[in-house]
Amino acid sequence: MNSVRKMTIIFQDIIQDVNIVHIVKGIITDITDSSICVMLENNNFMVFTTESLLEISEYEI
């Protein structure tokens, strides 16, 4: 039985010269050269640019 690899993803937005850091947990569903799509724990999806990525780490269920 394969286990699902859940990840913690930390990325940043800069909105009106304010740096906002986001920490989300979920499953990475797609990665391209410019974006990463994550299915969050509440089954919503979030897409962000690879440029905004600060850190990805795996966590145990």
Residue ranges of domains in the chain? 6-59
Residue-level pLDDT at 21: 92
Do 26 and 40 contact (CB within 8 A), yes or no?
A: yes
Characterize the bridge pairing of strands 53-59 and 45-49: unpaired
Residue-level pLDDT at 46: 92
Residue-level pLDDT at 42: 92
Q: What global pTM score does this model have? A: 0.72
pLDDT tens, position by position, 17-57: 898 998 999 999 999 999 999 999 899 999 989 889 998 89
Q: Which two tokens stand for residue 34?
A: 């410019």
Q: Is a pLDDT exceeding 80 seen at residue 4?
A: no
